[in-house]
């Protein structure tokens, strides 16, 4: 075990991917000389050279689309978009090309592309740098959406995503980069199919992912101190959703709190609630609870931002309502 | 009569006739409801398809738009695969999942068939990047209309391709209209070749009604691209004789303007030239027409006989099928 950070774990994953397969290269704004806007790719330019660590102009649509073309041309691009808000300038390429080419071509053209981007609030970056739109992307057939919340996943999900024949979107929550924890020295590729039980419990199920996992675990600790034993599921993969894991947990605990940093209306939390209602309604002993971001653009002021996004206390309150 | 020049002209003429007759037949098939959806014809613009594809090498990737029947046929995708696609059959080049606007053929390195205006340009840049990084001496041919020049993706892509000196041949089919919007109503500077040149790449305008001129310009551009000089831009000045798509009452232009351009019909022009120079007689024309007629009849038969995908297979090809 070695103490490291989420950022360094991501970088180790990138480094291993670049070493393992010479078709892999990375491009995006400031990924090279600057070292990545959040420092993830620091040092990789020196190690792998400007051909494989490519600084691009401010042209999200062009370089994301170029990643699609390069994937069609036999390479394994990793495209970095600074934040999910900016990915909207490339939404045409992501949705109309990456997600559709395989289908439109009748199975002839697959797009083995990985797009990484930062998501989420909590750093007082206000309404154009803080949104959690991964749930939107999880709406789109043809894409896979993964959200590493642990160092192990930060280290290992990218490698598996690069071996996937289809486009994978990898969301890094901005509040996680500095998280420092122990990571096994032999950490490597991990699956990108299943949810994980991060804490077992019998009284209720809390689902979370990405940046909200730590919030949910903190809430579970509080609940434990009050005699409530919560199970915490890390969704890990938002599309395709590991529905079986959610249903299995709810079948054990009979109560569900869904935590989602997206807005409530039309969100991933709504999707999970609907699936549980469709497939496990009679397992439930209490109404489903949702803890989501308030329906406002994320404000700058600290107290407002904190009030807008899911906090441990919100989850604790929801859990207590569910337990009754 | 059989020198390389005559051979080239005959081939260009044959391709243009194939495309013209094919699309004329498509109109009938559309009226008969055998073809549905949006269908965009390139009648009038055949010299571009024939000339560009004549110049492109078999390994050069091609990225096109929704107005791509001519590009696909001239590229060598079998007519029956193109027509079966428009019929929505599994023997179509996209298994019936694309239709007229989304023709794909991996074997012919034909990457669509993109119905988002300018949406294919980034993909072309990426294909060229892959070729460059893999050391393959290819050039990606990217076709789009004048309307695309107003989109942000166009400017991002010309800049990126020029900055990285990527092997892309940008081919702008300037037919003077984006649907019903005449170019001067949409573009502050209508000289598209001049605008493209501002990105620091070689750029020139070509008479897009002259298949030989198109082919020679494309050859010259491809030579320069393969020589490592970075991307080129060709503005191919052409005109579409038909409506934008099958639903277009054409309120935006005068019939007299269309008539005027029809006097420059690329097929008429080429056959007249070849006749005048003694390269072509009635017999040869009749032979081409009857070969094309047979090809179309065979394509229709193949399309009609093509199986429909069973609806149980609806959700296939959303993710790759791993064996
Ligand atoms: C991004 C986008 N906006 C609008 C449309 C609708 N549309 C389809 S074709 C077209 C005109 C495009 O004109 P041009 O690029 O000149 O090509 P042409 O049809 O003349 O071949 C428009 C506006 C579209 N398909 N994509």
- Tens of pLDDT along chain B (323 residues) come to 568 889 999 999 999 999 999 999 999 999 999 999 999 999 999 999 999 999 999 999 999 999 999 999 999 999 999 999 999 999 999 999 999 999 999 999 999 999 999 999 999 999 999 999 999 999 999 999 999 999 999 999 999 999 999 999 999 999 999 999 999 999 999 999 999 999 999 999 999 999 999 999 999 999 999 999 999 999 999 999 999 998 898 999 999 999 999 999 999 999 999 999 999 999 999 999 999 999 999 999 999 999 999 999 999 999 999 87
Inter-axis angle of helices B211-226 and B266-276, nearest 10: 100
Distance CA(A137)–CA(A170), nearest Å, equals 11
Distance CA(B135)–CA(B208), nearest Å, equals 32
CA gyration radius, chain A: 19
Residue B308: Cβ-neighbour burial (10 angstroms; 0-12, 13-18, 19+): exposed
Question: What is the Å distance from ligand 1's center to B239 Cα?
Answer: 15
Q: Is A165 on the interface with B (CB under 8 A)?
A: yes
Structure tokens, A16: 């291993």
Distance CA(A161)–CA(A237), nearest Å, equals 11
User: Quick check: CB of B120 below 6 Å from ligand 1?
Assistant: no
Residue A128: Cβ-neighbour burial (10 angstroms; 0-12, 13-18, 19+): exposed
Chosen for mutation from B65, B112, B123 (greatest number of chain A CBs closer than 10 Å) is: B123
Distance CA(B260)–CA(B269), nearest Å, equals 14
Model pLDDT, residue B247 = 85
The answer to whether the Cβ–Cβ distance between A107 and B95 falls below 8 Å is: yes
Question: What is the Å distance from ligand 1's center to B299 Cα?
Answer: 28
Tens digits of residue pLDDT in A278-316: 999 999 999 999 999 999 999 998 999 999 999 999 999
Task: Write the DSSP symbol of residue B270.
Answer: H
Residue A184: Cβ-neighbour burial (10 angstroms; 0-12, 13-18, 19+): exposed
One DSSP character per residue, A153-215 reads: HHHHHHHHHHHSSS-EEEEEETTTTT-EEEE-TT-----SS--EEEE--SSEEEEE-TTHHHH
The answer to whether the Cβ–Cβ distance between B116 and A92 falls below 8 Å is: yes
- Residue-averaged pLDDT of chain A: 97
Tens digits of residue pLDDT in A196-254: 999 999 999 999 999 999 999 999 999 999 999 999 999 999 999 999 999 999 999 99
Tens digits of residue pLDDT in A84-113: 999 999 999 999 999 999 999 999 999 999
3-state secondary structure of B41: coil
Contact criterion met (CB below 8 Å) for A291 and A318? yes
3-state secondary structure of B106: coil
Residues in chain B: 323
Question: What is the Å distance from ligand 1's center to B67 Cα?
Answer: 10
User: Quick check: CB of B163 below 6 Å from ligand 1?
Assistant: no
What value of ipTM does the predicted structure carry? Answer: 0.89
Question: What is the Å distance from ligand 1's center to B44 Cα?
Answer: 18
**Sequence-ordered list of residues with C-beta below 8 angstroms from that of B262, at least 6 positions apart, any chain:** B44, B241
In this prediction the pTM is 0.93
Nearest alpha-carbon partner for B11 in B268, B262, B270, B217: B270
Chain A nearest CA to B284, separation (Å): 37
Q: Is A129 a catalytic residue?
A: yes
Q: Is A254 a catalytic residue?
A: no
Q: Is A224 on the interface with B (CB under 8 A)?
A: no
The protein residue with its alpha carbon nearest to ligand 1, atom 21, reads B145
B67 Cα nearest atom in ligand 1: 21
Distance CA(A245)–CA(A272), nearest Å, equals 12
Distance CA(A182)–CA(A139), nearest Å, equals 34
The answer to whether the Cβ–Cβ distance between A69 and B98 falls below 8 Å is: no
Task: Write the DSSP symbol of residue A98.
Answer: I
Residue of A8, A16, A60, A80 with catalytic role: A60
Inter-axis angle of helices B282-305 and B4-31, nearest 10: 40
Distance CA(B178)–CA(B186), nearest Å, equals 9
Contact criterion met (CB below 8 Å) for A111 and A157? no
Chain A residues inside the 8 Å CB shell of B122: 61-66, 68-69, 93, 97
Model pLDDT, residue B4 = 86
B149 Cα nearest atom in ligand 1: 15
User: Quick check: CB of B115 below 6 Å from ligand 1?
Assistant: yes
Model pLDDT, residue B237 = 98
Model pLDDT, residue B3 = 84
Residue of A80, A129, A173, A289 with catalytic role: A129
Distance CA(A30)–CA(A38), nearest Å, equals 10
Query: Which of B111, B119, B163 minimises the CB distance to A96?
Result: B119
Distance CA(B261)–CA(B284), nearest Å, equals 26
Distance CA(B18)–CA(B76), nearest Å, equals 11
User: Quick check: CB of B242 below 6 Å from ligand 1?
Assistant: no
B179 Cα nearest atom in ligand 1: 11
User: Quick check: CB of B121 below 6 Å from ligand 1?
Assistant: no
Nearest alpha-carbon partner for A211 in A261, A152, A169: A261
The answer to whether the Cβ–Cβ distance between B153 and A65 falls below 8 Å is: yes
Model pLDDT, residue B1 = 53
């Amino acid at each position: 075990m070695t103490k490291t950070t989420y950022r360094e774990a991501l970088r180790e994953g990138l480094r291993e991917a670049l070493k393992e397969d010479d078709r892999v290269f990375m491009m995006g704004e400031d990924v090279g000389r600057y070292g990545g806007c959040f420092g993830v790719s620091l040092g990789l330019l020196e190690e792998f050279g400007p051909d494989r660590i490519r600084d691009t102009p401010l042209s999200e649509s062009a370089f994301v689309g170029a990643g699609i073309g390069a994937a069609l041309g036999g390479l394994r691009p990793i495209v970095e978009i600074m934040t999910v808000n900016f990915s909207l300038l490339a939404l045409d390429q992501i949705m109309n090309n990456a997600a559709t080419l395989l289908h439109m071509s009748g199975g002839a053209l697959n797009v083995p592309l990985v797009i990484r981007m930062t998501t989420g609030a909590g750093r007082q970056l206000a309404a154009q740098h803080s949104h959690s739109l991964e749930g939107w992307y999880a709406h789109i057939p043809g894409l896979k959406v993964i959200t590493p919340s642990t160092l192990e996943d930060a280290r290992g999900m990218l490698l598996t995503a690069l071996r996937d024949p289809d486009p994978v979107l990898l969301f890094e929550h901005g509040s996680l980069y500095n998280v420092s924890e122990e990571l096994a020295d032999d950490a490597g590729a991990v699956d990108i199919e299943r949810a994980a039980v991060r804490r077992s419990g019998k009284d209720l199920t809390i689902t979370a992912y990405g940046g909200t996992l730590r919030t949910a675990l903190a809430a579970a600790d509080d609940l434990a101190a009050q005699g409530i034993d919560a199970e915490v599921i890390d969704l890990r993969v938002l599309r395709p959703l590991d529905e079986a894991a959610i249903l299995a947990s709810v079948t054990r605990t009979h109560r569900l709190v869904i935590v989602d940093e997206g807005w409530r209306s039309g969100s991933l939390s709504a999707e999970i609630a609907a699936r549980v209602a469709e497939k496990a309604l009679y397992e439930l002993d209490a109404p489903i609870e949702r803890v989501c971001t308030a329906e406002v653009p994320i404000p700058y002021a600290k107290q407002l931002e904190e009030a807008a996004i899911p906090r441990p206390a919100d989850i604790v309150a929801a859990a207590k309502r569910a337990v009754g | 009569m059989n020198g390389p020049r005559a051979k080239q002209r005959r081939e260009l003429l044959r391709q243009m006739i194939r495309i013209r007759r094919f699309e004329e037949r498509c109109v009938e098939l559309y009226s008969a409801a055998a073809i549905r959806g949006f269908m965009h014809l390139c009648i009038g613009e055949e010299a571009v398809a024939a000339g560009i594809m004549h110049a492109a090498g078999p390994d050069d990737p091609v990225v096109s738009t929704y107005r791509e029947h001519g590009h696909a046929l001239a590229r060598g995708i079998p007519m029956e695969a193109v027509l079966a696609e428009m019929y929505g059959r599994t023997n179509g080049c996209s298994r019936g999942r694309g239709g007229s606007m989304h023709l794909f053929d991996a074997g012919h390195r034909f990457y669509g068939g993109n119905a988002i205006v300018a949406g294919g340009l980034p993909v072309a840049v990426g294909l060229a990047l892959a070729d460059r990084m893999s050391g393959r001496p290819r050039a990606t041919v990217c076709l789009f209309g004048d309307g695309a020049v107003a989109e942000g993706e166009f400017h991002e892509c010309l800049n990126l391709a020029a900055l990285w000196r990527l092997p892309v041949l940008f081919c702008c089919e300037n037919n003077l209209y984006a649907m019903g919007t005449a170019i001067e109503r949409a573009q502050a500077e209508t000289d598209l070749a001049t605008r493209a040149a501002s990105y620091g790449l070689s750029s020139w305008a070509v008479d897009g009604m002259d298949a030989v001129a198109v082919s020679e310009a494309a050859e010259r551009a491809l030579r320069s691209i393969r020589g490592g000089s970075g991307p080129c831009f060709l503005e191919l000045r052409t005109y579409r004789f038909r409506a934008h798509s099958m639903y277009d009452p054409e309120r935006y232009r005068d019939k007299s303007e269309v008539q005027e351009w029809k006097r420059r019909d690329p097929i008429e022009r080429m056959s007249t030239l070849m006749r005048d120079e003694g390269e072509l007689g009635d017999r040869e024309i009749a032979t081409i027409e009857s070969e094309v007629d047979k090809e179309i009849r065979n394509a229709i038969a193949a399309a009609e006989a093509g199986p429909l995908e069973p609806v149980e297979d609806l959700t296939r090809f959303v993710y790759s099928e791993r064996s």
